[in-house]
Each structure stands twice: as C-alpha cells, then as structure tokens.
Chains A and B, each alone.
Chain A
C-alpha cells in the first residue's frame, strides 16, 4: 500500500530507528494484555497504531505476533480491525503462529454484531495458510447461511479465497453448489454479484479438469440465468452491473427478438454516470448485433454520443482508454465519426499520449468531405511547442495524403513544411514526400522543384537523409545537380554514421549512374570503394553485390537496380485483419488499450525480450531457450519498418520482386549467381576487401571503363588484433547484438586441470579475462556447468565481439560461441580468446 519508507521528510507516525522500539512495544503490549482497567482500549489503540505503521513502512514487526494475539480480546471494533490487518499480513510467513489466531477468529465469527462476524470471517479467509484450511470450512458454511447480507457477501468471497488456497477442500465441501444456490435465490444483489464473480473464477479454472465444472460454466450463459441477471440489473451496484454486462456479452441469443429485448432493457445503461458501465453496455450491443448488419450500423450511431462524452469528460487516463476503443471502432467503420472529427482536435493541455491517439483518430476519420479542415488543423500542430507531437502531426498529414485520392492541396501543404526551415519539420516532410512520390509519381515535378532547394547539409536525421538520397537517385534525370550532391555526400562517407544512409547512398549512386553515366562515374567508383571497405556487413555486401553485377553486365545491373517501377497502390498494413478481429472480440479489455490481442501479452512464449533478459540476469544453463526466441524477434523487427522493407524490395528485387537482395534466388538462369548468401559473401569479403582500398578502387575504374575482369587482391594475413581494455557495453545492447548477429565461430576447447580447479571461484576467471581486455557482462551456473557471456572491443574502432562460453568442469571442456560485428576479425579474436583461456589457472 504505502511505499517502503524512503524519505526522512515526514516522520509521522514516527519512524523507528532500530530494534529497540520493537522490543519496547513488545513489553508494553505484554503489560496491557492481561489488564482490564477502564480506558485500556485507548492505550492499546495507540500501541496498535504504532505497530501497524511500522508494518506499513516495511519494518518487520512479526516478532510481536504472540503479544498482538493476546491483546486481541477486546470489544472495540477499530482495535479488532487493526489486529485483523496485522494477522492477515504476517500469518502467511508465520504459519505456526497463525494457529494461535484461529481460536479468537472463530470465536468472533459467532459474535452478535454482524460487522464483527463479517470482519472476522474475512480475516480468517485471508490468512492464506494451507494447513489451516480445515478451520475455514465450518465458519464459511455458516457464513453463507448467515441472516445478515454483509456476512454473506464476505463469506462468498471467502469461498473464492479458500478455493485459491486449496481447491480440493473447497470443492469437497460442496461450496460451488451452495454458491450457485445463493446466486439464484439470495435477496441481496451484492451477494448475488459476488457469487457470480466467484463461480466464474472457480468454474473456469476447474473446467479443464472436470466435465461437470465446464458444464456448469456453460450453464451460466444459458437463457434462464442470463435473463435472471438482466431482470435484476438495476438492483446491482455499478461494479456488479459491469460484471453482469460482461456475462451478457458472451450470451448468444437464439432468436432475433431476444436481441431487441435485451437492447431495450439495457439502453438506459448507456447514460450511466459510470464510464465502465457505459463501455460494458456498448460491448453487449456490438456483440449482439454482429450478425445483423443494419442494426449493427444503428448501434454505431447510438453509441457515438456516449463515447464522445466519455472522451471529453473525465481524466486523461479515461480519455486514452476510450480513444483506444474509438480507434478500434473507426478502423471497422471509418464513416461513423467522420462528421465528429472536431472532437479529436488536440487541446494544448492534454498529455501527449492522448494527443498522439487523437492524431491517429484524425488520420483514420479523414475522408473527402473533411480532409481540408483536418489537414488545416494538423498543420497548426506542426508549429507546436511539443516537438514529438509536431512530428506526429506531420506524419499524420502524410498518412492522410496516402489514403486520399485528391491529394492536390495536401502536397502543397507538405511542400510548405519543407520551407519552414525547422530541421525536424523538414526531416519528417522529406520522408513523407518520398512515400508520396512512390504512390503518386505524377507529383514528381512539383516535389522535385522544392526538394532540389534543400541543402543536404541541413538534413541530419538518418531517415530523412535516406529519403532525400532516394529522391536524388530516383529523379536524378530531373534534378540538375543530383550527381554532384551525391558526390559530395560520398566524399563524406566516413562521417556518415548511419548504415541505412550509406545503403541508400550506394543504391542512389547506382541509379544515377544508369541515367547520367559520364557525370556519375567518378562518384560511383568512390562509393563502391568506400562501400567495400565498410565495416558494416550489409553495406559491404551491397557494395560487393553491385560491384559484381556491374562486372558481369551493366544492362543486367540496370534491370536489377533501377527497373521501371509501378506506383505503390497500397502500403502494407502493420496489423492483419485477423488480429484486429481478435482485438474486437476482446472489446472493453486491456487488449484494446495495448492494441494487441490478449494472448500476445499473457502467453509466455510471446514475452520474448523479457525472457531473454531474465536469462542474462540469472543465467540458468540452457542456451536453447535464447535461440528459440530469436525468430520471433526477427519477425518483429521486420514488421516495425514495413515501409522501408518494401522500398528495399522494390529496389533490389527487380521484376521478380520476390525478396530482398540477400535471399533472392537467381532470377535469370544465365545471370550472376545472385544467390548471394551473406555467408558466402563474408567469406569472399575476407579475401577481397581487406586489401588496400587504393588497389580496389583502381580495379573498379578499370571495370567501369572497359569491363575487364579483375583478379582479386591477394588475401592478406589477418592483422594483429588489439583490444580496447576499457571497453564498455550495456546489457541491452549486448542482447540486441546477440540476437542480430550470426554465429561467426563455434568451438570447443579443453581447459587445463588447474583452470578447472581455479573455477571453484568463478570470479577469478572474470578477473583473469579482464586482464586480457575481455569483459564479462553476465555469468551464472553451478558446478559442474558454468556459463559466461563476455564481450570485447577493438582498440581503434567500435567493432565488438560477443562470446558465450559454457565450461563444464567435470569434462574440463569449454564450448565457445563467438559473434562479431566484423566477421573478418573473428578468427583472430577466437585465437586470442583461446590463448587467454588456456592461460587461466596458470601461476
């Protein structure tokens, strides 16, 4: 409840400094225990208050258990409550002492005052001690039959608690049947509601093992039961109404007339003051009418106003939750809110999470009639003080443009953004213009004129820079100085940190070369040389691929790299319609807020990243689990950037368009064996690339001029590897890299007997390896299996090596897996690692 004491700020109630206070309290409680003097309750109350306050701030006062129980004999209800609270908190960790309390709790369960009966029963069920359940059955049984509704309410929940402590005791005592009886017959609505909630929980978890339970669970959804609840719905508290509505939402009516009966009965719930009731009712309406298209549309009209009210009144948290639901509905029926778009205009004071969702709504509801107003409004946000929102709103404008047919006005707006002279606005607008041109190539003239005026020096963000470069390559015939801009960008290759930009630069310069060969030849040569020397695998591979393509046949290369393109008609949707349907089925739940169906955040196998970090944290031996996680991660990473991956496909996939360059099978029987699996390329890389840059650029010049075959440069011996002794890497990056990189070497060494002996204290190995500039990021395991994750960095550049090392002390073997940023150096590193390991344990 209250957070553990962390501040010294307000010492009220006073904070104890040590154990002295606790033992002090103990003796005071002892004194009071036997006393029956008048006014004793007041002094007890003060003491109890102190004890509870210690407990609340996280000080262990469990040693007072016996004294507290002794003092519990009182008629004062506040004292009792405090005592119950204390007992409930410590019983679980002190099961033996908990036995002491059973006696007085059972006595209180028979008290005259229903309040005390109820409280005692609640505490009794909250002890959570498995071997005390036998004492619960009796009081619970009589509690369920108590003539006071308060006690019955508590008893019903008590049954559920008992079920969670010991399911068999609960079922054997026939409590579910008793609950069912009270559910259908009790006069008090709260008792009925609690029965429903308890039975749903019990029968759902029993259903897998017992056929009877699953039958009972089905029976809850039968017509008589559902109608029984519906007829009493107005007696229930607002929370219980939510529960009943949830149940009704699952009910499948047999006849159409039933649907209308239920909807008529529930219509006024749409005007309830409690938003939870309103949303639950909406779910019932939507589910009931799923099969009746016309009525379903009418339902949309009917629920519109209540939903919009929920958005604009209440806390931002509520707005967010309701907006998520609206967003889901809008995806299914975009027109329903198209005339209410003004409700989604952002207000200055709103938190940005609400604003972001509102922008998505505006994008979703935009249609021919309201686009002008919406885009005008969005353009105002571009000048917003809140930069992330300004960016989002520009993106929203772009999305609207991509989904509209009449984009004339929007293109003008976007081009105005480019002239706003704010770097982030320009950056976002560039990315959008690029996507827009892919869909509407007819706008190229207008866009190119504006884009041409942007100096590439003013664009810093990788995505924007890549977009600009893409346009330079794609429209180089219309942009007068395209080759020269590209050339100047290539001159600064070394300073370009983003691999994405370098990849685009390679492709763009190729395209430019096909259109304006004489002007671009020099730039292309420089780009390929720089690309071949690049330490990033993808950049290097693409450069090599282009190089070989050109070497083979320039016209084939042109067909591959710069084929005539068709405009993209629809950009890939990030979520499949199946997933959207699943989310819709889970309307009014967290799935909608997370925009994921529930299995994605409740099932274990979908929690990949967490699982992995767990593994790194406390490292149980079992390398396989990390491996199984990998594919899921990859898929996710791919999905994240669909737009980009689509563009990549187009550029390099060519006419066959069946995959990216790396996995494309040879699409032309006679053409280059484009089966350029990265494995093969990387092997080749070692032989060609590490050669001197001047030599290979010379070779390329030759090639471009005459197309003469070039002999590969002789493979140089692997350079001596120097490691950075002060390398740093945070665990997050480590995990990410470990997932992304392929295993470059996997070996088994034997460990010297001395080393095995020294491994009794694994810390010594870590210190030893650190002496060789190899750092440990995580370690674990128990004899005979130890597992370590190491990393190291090259001294001059930021190229990293990652190592997984499993040492088995009984067989004296070490299994090593190495992954490296720079594959070519992994061999050298492997040698270094082995020698470092073999020295371990030597004096």
Chain B
C-alpha cells in the first residue's frame, strides 16, 4: 500500500466533506450522514479511489445548500441528486464542467506566500524559505485557454502544478498554459529558498537568577517591504517550571491564555516607537535559574507584496467571446516563523 496514496486520499475526503457540509466535525457528520454515505460511495469502491474531483462529485450529488433547502420546501421535491450523470466523466478535461455560462467573465490570480524562518539565539537567521501558491478564481464561459507568465521564474526552486497545467510550455519557456477549472483552485505551488532577510525583527532577551527570570522582547521593522505589516503577534509557551508570570508591553495587548501561552498582539508597528514587552517569570521554588528556553512564534501579514519577489508578467486569455476582467493580488504572511531564545 503506498502510504501517500492513503494520506492524500483521506485529506481529499476531508476536503470534499468540509466543502459539502461547510465544516467537518462529529455533529456535522451525524446531521448529514446520508450525504456522507453517498459521497463515500462515489469516492471509493472496494478499497480503490474513484472520483475525488469536487466538480464531478458536485454534479453527481447536489450540495445541501440553503438554496436547495428552500427549494425543497417550496416545491416539495427535495432530491439532492441530479437527474443526469455528469458529463465531465467523459470529458477530456475532467476538472471542468462542460459549458458554464457567465454574464460577467472574470478571473482573479492571487499570489499567497508563507514565510518560514528560524532565528537562533544569537539573532542569526538560520533558515528562511517561502512556500507560495498561485490561487486562481475563474468565472469564465466556455472552454477558455489561459497562459500566465512570470517576470522572474528563475527564482522558483521547486514547483508543483494542478493537473490542468500543460508541462511542455513550462519546461521550455516557463509559461503556465492551462484550461482552468471553474471557480477557486490552486494552480501551482512553489518554494523559494535561501532568502536573506525577514521584514521584521524580534529580539528576545532572558536573564535569570535568584528564582526569577526577566524577559524583554523587542519588535521592529528590519527590512521595509513598502506596504503595511499588520496582524503582528508574538507568542510563546511558558515553561512548566514557572509559577507565575507578569508581562506588560508599551504597545498592544498581552494575554496569558489558559494553556500557559503568552500572547502579545501588536497589530501594527507605530511610527514613533519600537514596541516592547517585558516582564518577570517566577520560577518554582528550588530552581535558581531557568534551564528551558521558550521559542517565540511570530505571525504577521503583508498585503500587496509577495516577499519572494515573484512577479506576474502577464495573463493571456484565448477562446473567449468578450474581454474578461482580470485581477491580481499578492499577500505574504508568516508561516512557521520562530525566534529562539
């Protein structure tokens, strides 16, 4: 049994179920067990995965949306199964519904990046990498053919594509050529490694002795990305051997949560001062100094910038009756951003 096949399939089942049911937990499954049965019936037979493509499933088994519930009350016909078999099973582009029609043709391309970084106790950037996704939301009529090119594809380290992407144009010219599925999907994911700096710095300092430990944390902008950095938070797990903690900050709020996590919400860095948090931890009796050092996890969000530097050059559309609307966005947020102390 290939292990990844099982894991991928289970993830896919979870995705489809939460897509259908608007969430995934015990109660939701109990409330909708008939649909769950129906879905599983189509997704796997005799231990072999069959159809997991959401578009096709959606045609076979209707979603229990509010609209259909209203309809069923009005018309008395509450069948949530479509009358016909999906056409896409026979189509050569299985991810696309045969012939959708839209009054307003529009396509949005988002670059969403996550920065993973590890900064060690001496403030050295040990590891910094970006994991990015190109997310496309397309509402286009007919069978459109799209090509997307980047200004600087050479920075990409490793890429993975949605099955709709044709391999040859990418291999020869680094151009993404594809017939998109309808709606929201992940066109491609990529990695960019060996980044040299982070947009913000977080400097924790711990000094302990005499049964207490003094913590000071400084946060500031290191490398201005040109756009506002918001939703900044810094959190760390208090070690077990701590009796009490008293933390204050000159900006934002500090909360100590029930699971002994200290959460400092900064939001935005003010222009006039550098935010800092300081406080004292009281250690268990008998402990002179702190021996475990907490790791600070940092979160932030920057709208409008892809920190890897990846830029979309242009997006061409073919096979379309009228000019569609094209939209581009970029967003970077912190992934696993850790600062050790």
Contact = CB atoms under 8 A, between A and B. Distances in A.
Given A115-B85, A315-B11, A345-B127, A10 B27 contact: yes
A590 B1 contact: yes
Interface string A295-326: 00000000001101110111101100110100
A235 interface: yes
Contacts of A242: 2, 5
Contacts of B291: 383, 420-422
A271 B50 contact: no
Contact of A383 (B29, B37, B293): B293
Nearest to A193: B48
B191 A309 contact: yes
A273 interface: yes
B340 A380 contact: yes
B246 interface: no
Interface in A733-781: none
Most buried by B among A149, A150, A239, A280: A239
A226 to B, nearest CB: 19
A219 interface: no
Contact of B78 (A45, A237, A267): A45
B4 A153 contact: no
A45 B121 CA distance: 64
A719 B186 CA distance: 80
Q: A interface, how many residues as a size bin?
A: 35 or more
A18 B336 CA distance: 52
Interface string B85-129: 100011010100000000000000000000010101100001101
Contacts, number: 193
A280 B2 contact: yes
Contact of B85 (A114, A161, A235): A114
A377 interface: yes
Interface string A80-119: 0110010000000000000000000000000001110000
Nearest to A342: B127
A165 to B, nearest CB: 12
Most buried by B among A13, A268, A377: A268
A347 B121 contact: no
B66 interface: no
Contact of B76 (A39, A197, A308, A347): A39
A802 interface: no
A348 B51 contact: no
Interface string A593-607: 100000000000000
Contacts of B3: 321, 324, 588-590, 592-593
A49 interface: yes
Interface string B71-89: 0000010111101010001
Contacts of B161: 271-273
Contacts of A237: 49-53, 94
A318 B131 contact: no
Interface string A265-296: 00110011111101110000000000000000
Interface stretch (B138-146, B152-160, B212-220, B321-329): B152-160
A345 B157 contact: no
Given A2-B30, A194-B48, A349 B297 contact: yes
Interface stretch (B16-24, B38-46, B226-234, B264-272): B38-46
A85 B46 contact: no
B4 A56 contact: no
A237 B36 CA distance: 22
Nearest to B340: A380
A318 B9 contact: no
Interface in A335-384: 342, 345, 347-349, 376-377, 380, 383-384
Interface string B48-68: 111111000000100000000
Contact of B292 (A157, A312, A384): A384
A197 B159 contact: no
B90 A12 contact: no
A511 interface: no
A395 interface: no
Nearest to B80: A78
A238 interface: yes
Most buried by A among B9, B33, B38, B159: B33
A385 B30 contact: no
Most buried by A among B34, B52, B191: B34
Contact of B4 (A13, A113, A321): A321
A308 B45 contact: no
B239 A239 contact: no
7 contacts: A114-B85, A160-B46, A235-B92, A242-B5, A276-B8, A310-B4, A420-B291
CB-CB nearest 5 A-B residue pairs: A268-B167, A305-B158, A239-B49, A276-B5, A276-B4
Interface of A: 1-2, 10, 12-13, 39, 42, 45, 49, 52-53, 56, 76-78, 81-82, 85, 113-115, 122, 148-150, 153-154, 157, 160-161, 188, 190, 194, 197, 235, 237-239, 242-243, 246, 267-268, 271-276, 278-280, 305-306, 308-310, 312-315, 317-318, 321-322, 324, 342, 345, 347-349, 376-377, 380, 383-385, 420-422, 588-590, 592-593
